[in-house]
Amino acid sequence: MSSIHLYPTVGGLDPILNNTYKDSKGKVQYVVRTPITLTGLGRITTILKSGDFEAILASDSLIQAEYCDDGADQDRILTDSDRTSINLDEAPVVADKQSLSTTENVEETVVEVEEDRMIEVGKIGWALFKSSMITFGKGPEQKADRYFQKESWGFWGRHRVFTGPDGKEYKWVLGFYTPELILNDGSNTPIARFHRRKFILWGAPPGYLEILPSGVDMIDTILITFIYIEKLRKDKERSVSKTNRAF
């Protein structure tokens, strides 16, 4: 079954806030920009979409062996009785100077596009001591901690549930390596998932966001929420890594 693949053009430690996403034919479809601030706080991520966006189905001949997923055991949704995850939902994120400097480099190396021909489809205003803010299209700004509801447990804390533009509930599962979006109706129907690259190959994309046929009508929503969730997951992953190095 064919799906839509969005390939980020930049890899590294923290490419989630500054990247360019191409389709399977190499055409730029989305651009993500997050300017640096003097204090490193109050940053705003803007998500832009190509003015002539076209959903291109990926070729079935794509070499899937180059990419990996978390696996069934790692993506298992844990209950409160059997969870062994780390509860970092309320833990402060440790600032990483290396990642900040990497982000600056990312901004300089993101593929250049004619942004005046792009359409703004979303914004995320990041906050440290209060709720971040999220906006979809020309809709109202919303508090992220109200838009997303916490449910069950994963390796990096609570999974996030939200209501899509179709009125259905969806859940981002914070997998150990990558997040996966499922329909939150008990069926666990997959909607989208990120695939990491297994091997370092020159010129190969660092991974890709796969959007299954059931998610093609809400691609903007999927990408915007993916950016929020993946930054959350990576921040917590980095915090644990820094804590472990301290002991």
pLDDT value of residue 198: 62
Reference 230, options 39, 27, 6; nearest CA is 6
Instruction: Give the Cα separation of 61 and 186 in Å (integer).
Output: 32
pLDDT value of residue 103: 39
pTM, 2 dp: 0.77
Place of tokens 């991974």: 207
Give, as one character, the DSSP assignment of residue 178.
Answer: S
Instruction: Give the Cα separation of 120 and 136 in Å (integer).
Output: 9
* Residue 99 CB-density burial (10 A; 0-12 exposed, 13-18 middle, 19+ buried): middle
pLDDT value of residue 60: 47
Instruction: Give the Cα separation of 18 and 31 in Å (integer).
Output: 8
Beta-carbon contacts of residue 85 (< 8 Å; ≥ 6 apart): 78, 153, 154, 155, 156, 157
Instruction: Give the Cα separation of 165 and 134 in Å (integer).
Output: 14
> 198-207 long-range CB contacts below 8 Å, 24 or more apart?
198/65, 198/66, 198/67, 198/68, 199/66, 201/66, 204/66, 205/7, 205/8, 205/9, 205/11, 205/22, 206/8, 206/10, 206/11, 206/12, 206/15, 207/7, 207/8, 207/11, 207/67, 207/178
Reference 164, options 243, 223, 118, 246; nearest CA is 223
pLDDT value of residue 54: 80
Cβ–Cβ under 8 Å, residues 154 and 133:
no
CB burial of 158-188 (b: ≥16 within 10 Å; e: otherwise) equals bbbbbebeeeeebbbbbbebbbbbbbbeeee
What backbone phi and psi angles, to 5 degrees, belong to 50? -55, 135
Task: Please give the average pLDDT of every successive group of 10 residues along the chain, which has 247 residues.
Answer: 87 78 92 87 93 75 44 41 35 39 40 72 93 96 96 80 97 88 95 80 73 95 96 78 53
What sections of the chain are H helices per DSSP? 97-109, 144-147, 219-245
pLDDT value of residue 65: 37
Distances (CA, A) of 4 to 29, 121, 212, 216: 12, 18, 6, 8
Tokens of 48: 């832009």
Cβ–Cβ under 8 Å, residues 127 and 183:
no
* Sequence ranges of the domains in the chain: 4-245
